[in-house]
């Protein structure tokens, strides 16, 4: 309930933040939304010597789609900003589907998308959506900026590829070339629970033909599961009962669930399969209605 003592800095620019992190030699943690870090400080699971609070850096609270259709999410964009977006469902439906399922509504006013991704909790919702859509993190350090592909970003539970003197300034999720479709389903026993299993599916359609498909899973392994290759069996096809069955079987096969008090590994694998099927079936039915 009571954090350890720490030094505290509140830089007013990204450059200042980087300089402080650089001097700290790895003993500092970046604080954005704080909805993951502060609970860890309170339980004393984390005890950094210094906290670098980036909430007072102006110009980081944006989210917008650029001319090429790519979504840029600034480091201080809160979960609720995405949940309340009027346009996200049109451009990035997978994220739109996930937005309201992150934690609970009060945490969402404060927690940030980028912060959540940097926290790298294997059960994190946003990582799964980024992994399913070739997202990348833009990191800024003393030597300038670099893009880190989501696949290379998470090294292990709560460990990322960010150097100790780097700040993640934005996340980028590419847009679809054709028609974006997607879904996110999460089995939680109640709002705010960690997922028993969750599935992010993203499709890029050319008419009703799938040009690109992405999929990632959370809660069914020690890390976010990259199921992009498994779901690639949909590429070049349309959504039919057969193609949907094939895809859901393939994705379920790459899950790495563990038995625990939320369920057996077989159960969690079955949920993955069921959810993939439901997302795709729902998309197929929506397509038919639209047609």
Binding site for other proteins (CB under 8 A): 1-8, 10, 31, 34-35, 38-39, 41-44, 51, 53, 55-56, 80, 103-107, 109-110, 187, 189-194, 196, 258-264, 267-268, 270-271, 274
List, in order, residues 6 or more apart from 186 with CB less than 8 Å away.
98, 101, 125, 195, 197, 198, 199, 218
How, if at all, do strands 159-160 and 63-65 pair?
Answer: unpaired
Shortest Cβ 196–other proteins spacing (Å): 7
Shortest Cβ 166–other proteins spacing (Å): 22
CA distance 53 to 57: 9
Query: 261 or 289: whose CB is closer to other proteins?
Result: 261
Query: 122 or 180: whose CB is closer to other proteins?
Result: 122
Q: Is 247 helix (H, G, I), strand (E, B) or coil?
A: helix
Query: 6 or 158: whose CB is closer to other proteins?
Result: 6
Query: 157 or 236: whose CB is closer to other proteins?
Result: 157
Query: 115 or 180: whose CB is closer to other proteins?
Result: 115
CA distance 41 to 47: 6
Cα–Cα distance list, 65 to 53, 61, 87 (Å):
27, 14, 10
Shortest Cβ 285–other proteins spacing (Å): 14
Q: Which secondary-structure segment (H or E) carries 98?
A: helix 93-99
Q: Are 212 and 235 in contact (CB under 8 A)?
A: yes
Shortest Cβ 65–other proteins spacing (Å): 24
Query: 205 or 220: whose CB is closer to other proteins?
Result: 220
Shortest Cβ 31–other proteins spacing (Å): 8
Nearest Cα neighbor of 244 from 233, 253, 254 is: 233
Shortest Cβ 66–other proteins spacing (Å): 27
Q: Are 89 and 98 in contact (CB under 8 A)?
A: no
DSSP lists the bridge partners of residue 78 as 112
């Amino acid at each position: 309930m009571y954090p350890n003592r720490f030094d505290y800095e509140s830089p007013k620019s990204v450059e200042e933040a980087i300089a402080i992190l650089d001097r700290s030699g790895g003993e500092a943690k970046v604080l954005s939304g704080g909805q993951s870090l502060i609970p860890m400080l309170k339980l004393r699971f984390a005890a950094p010597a210094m906290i670098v609070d980036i909430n007072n850096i102006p110009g980081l609270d944006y989210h917008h789609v650029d001319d090429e259709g790519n979504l840029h999410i600034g480091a201080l964009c809160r979960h609720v900003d995405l949940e309340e977006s009027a346009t996200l469902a049109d451009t990035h439906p997978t994220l739109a589907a996930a937005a309201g399922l992150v934690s609970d509504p009060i945490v969402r006013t404060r927690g940030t998308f980028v912060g959540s991704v940097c926290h790298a909790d294997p059960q994190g919702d946003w990582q799964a959506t980024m992994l399913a859509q070739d997202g990348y993190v833009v990191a800024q350090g003393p030597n300038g900026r670099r893009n880190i592909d989501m696949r290379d970003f998470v090294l292990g539970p709560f460990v990322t590829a960010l150097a100790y003197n780097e700040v993640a300034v934005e996340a980028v999720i590419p847009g679809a070339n054709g028609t974006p479709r997607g879904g996110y389903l999460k089995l939680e026993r109640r709002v705010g629970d960690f997922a028993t299993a969750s599935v992010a599916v993203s499709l890029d359609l050319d008419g009703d033909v799938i040009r690109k498909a992405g999929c990632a899973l959370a809660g069914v392994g020690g890390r976010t599961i990259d199921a992009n290759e498994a779901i690639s069996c949909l590429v070049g096809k349309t959504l039919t009962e057969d193609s949907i069955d094939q895809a859901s079987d393939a994705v379920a096969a790459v899950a790495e669930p563990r038995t625990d008090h939320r369920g057996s590994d077989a159960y969690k694998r079955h949920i993955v399969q069921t959810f993939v099927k439901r997302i795709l079936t729902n998309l197929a039915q929506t397509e038919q209605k639209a047609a």
